[in-house]
Amino acid sequence: MRTIRVAAAQSGPIQKAEPRDDVVRRLVALLEEAARRGARLVVFPELALTTFFPRWYMEEETDVLAWFEPSMPSPTTRPLFDRARELGIGFSLGYAELTPEGRRFNTSILVDERGEIVGKYRKIHLPGHVAYDPDRAFQHLEKRYFEPGDLGFPVWRTLGGIMGMCICNDRRWPETWRVLGLQSVELVMLGFNTPSVNSQDSAEGPTQRLFHHRLSMQAGAYQNATWAVAVAKAGVEDGHALMGGTLIVDPNGEIVAESATLEDELVLYDCDLDACRFGKQTIFDFARHRRTEHYGLITSRTGARPPD
């Protein structure tokens, strides 16, 4: 048994006007409660420091940049790092990253129990669109404000296991999970902000969207024999509902813990990383079963194309 107690630290809504240091205080409170309850790793949501700003159409560069973090840790986020180091607890955190060169990414970092940033992931599967779209019930402008991640899907040996990260829409793409699985990942951390209604189909509401979320998480975990932790920002932000659905999935694809609210809430579970072994050594022993000679289209073709 290599058991690590993981806390999925769901955030309730963060309103547009909420100052970032208030948000950090909420995250620190969750971190402290997680530590009190024995967690060694706390997973925070995607873009955990602000409202989900890609719902707002902005033309002015300065309006956009106001949502971004030019450094990490920063004066505002430093208290989270300090408290985690004092408590000897690791965490992952999503935020809008502005690089020194002015590039913008939807990023997640992994911080170990000494408070060191040991991993960084930049979201690869950006959903949504670039230009204002009058046909949508609301905007989803991730492709406007971020460029696709340029770091691939790395894994890290830390906190006693092989850890991976991805962000929100990445979970719907089996390529994400497989690239992590091919690196023997044992625990995948994912933060998300998912609207309760499909902006392009108002009939697709929270029941169907939670189903798709669970389905993607469970399939990704099962088919790669890994733990998976999905952490929502939830509830009504700026008048727009986020569906919630924080959960932890075991390497068999079973949901073992799930949030009960749309507020700040911890979901804890003791994840035995050795539970990944049976799947990785039998039905998903890739070395014995995968046939890469037939997978060529996955990397050689981007878009779908029907047969002639």
* Active site members: 46, 123, 168
CB of 136 to its own copies, least distance (A): 10
CB of 222 to its own copies, least distance (A): 6
Residue 26 or residue 129: which is nearer to its own copies going by CB? 129
CB of 16 to its own copies, least distance (A): 26
DSSP 172: G
Strand 187-192 relative to strand 161-167, pairing: parallel
Helix-helix angle 206-224:174-181, to 10 degrees: 20
Contacts of 176 (CB under 8 A, 6+ apart): 124, 125, 153, 166, 170, 220
Contacts of 14 (CB under 8 A, 6+ apart): 23, 49, 50, 51, 233, 237
For its own copies, the binding residue among 38, 211, 239, 274 (CB under 8 A) is 211
Our finding on whether 179 is near its own copies (CB under 8 A) is: yes
Our finding on whether 219 is near its own copies (CB under 8 A) is: yes
Our finding on whether 207 is near its own copies (CB under 8 A) is: no
Residue 45 or residue 181: which is nearer to its own copies going by CB? 181
Whether the CB-CB separation of 80 and 73 falls below 8 Å is answered with yes
For its own copies, the binding residue among 216, 228, 265, 267 (CB under 8 A) is 216
Our finding on whether 127 is near its own copies (CB under 8 A) is: yes
Residue 28 or residue 118: which is nearer to its own copies going by CB? 118
To which H or E segment does residue 8 belong? Answer: strand 3-10
CA-to-CA separations, 302 to 18, 192, 297, in angstroms, rounded: 40, 25, 8
Our finding on whether 117 is near its own copies (CB under 8 A) is: no
What residue type is 156 in one-letter code?
W
- Token pair recorded at residue 162: 């092989």
Residues 141-160, interacting with its own copies (CB under 8 A): 148-149, 152-157
For its own copies, the binding residue among 21, 22, 82, 285 (CB under 8 A) is 285
Residues 261-280, interacting with its own copies (CB under 8 A): 278, 280
Task: Compute the distance between CA of residue 216 and CA of residue 25 in angstroms, rounded to an integer.
Answer: 32
CB of 232 to its own copies, least distance (A): 18
Our finding on whether 283 is near its own copies (CB under 8 A) is: yes
CB of 149 to its own copies, least distance (A): 8
Whether the CB-CB separation of 20 and 53 falls below 8 Å is answered with no
Residue 142: which of 102, 191, 193, 100 has the closest Cα? 193
Report the first-to-last Cα separation within the chain, whole angstroms.
53
Residue 218 or residue 246: which is nearer to its own copies going by CB? 218
Residue 33 or residue 133: which is nearer to its own copies going by CB? 133
Of 33-41, 95-103, 107-115, 288-296, which part binds its own copies (CB under 8 A)? 288-296
What residue type is 7 in one-letter code?
A
Task: Compute the distance between CA of residue 3 and CA of residue 217 in angstroms, rounded to an integer.
Answer: 21
Residues that bind its own copies (CB under 8 A): 124-127, 148-149, 152-157, 162, 169, 172-175, 177-179, 181-184, 200-201, 208, 211-212, 215-216, 218-219, 222-223, 252-254, 278, 280, 282-292, 294-307
